[in-house]
Structure 1
Amino acid sequence: MQVWDQVKVIDPESLYAGEAGLVQKSDANGNTVKLDNVEKVQIFTDEQLQFLGR
């Protein structure tokens, strides 16, 4: 993922499954995502996210 990618959480075991947001940072530790309906940023792997657009 890249910064400012629009993504959706697709991991069915995640508390945030189905939530969408923007990638704020992407590095070896994962992707830091600001979800639309969650106050704090969350970290996800590429496999937990679906790319929606830029």
Structure 2
Amino acid sequence: ELTPHLDDNLARFKHPKDLVIVDELPRNAGGKVVKPKLRDAYGSKDAGLAD
């Protein structure tokens, strides 16, 4: 369901390499998504890139 939507709305080079579907995103007391917790749980956005 998500892949056809991406095909219709994003250029191919902008498609994510991986999609991870989760039930709930970790949020702080202010309701913002805690990105470091996501990276720890599912991998860094820079994983696999050379320095």
Q: TM-score, normalised by structure 2?
A: 0.21
Greater RCO (CA < 8 Å, at least 6 residues apart): 1
Normalized per residue, which structure has more strand?
Answer: 1
Normalized per residue, which structure has more helix?
Answer: 2
Q: TM-score, normalised by structure 1?
A: 0.20
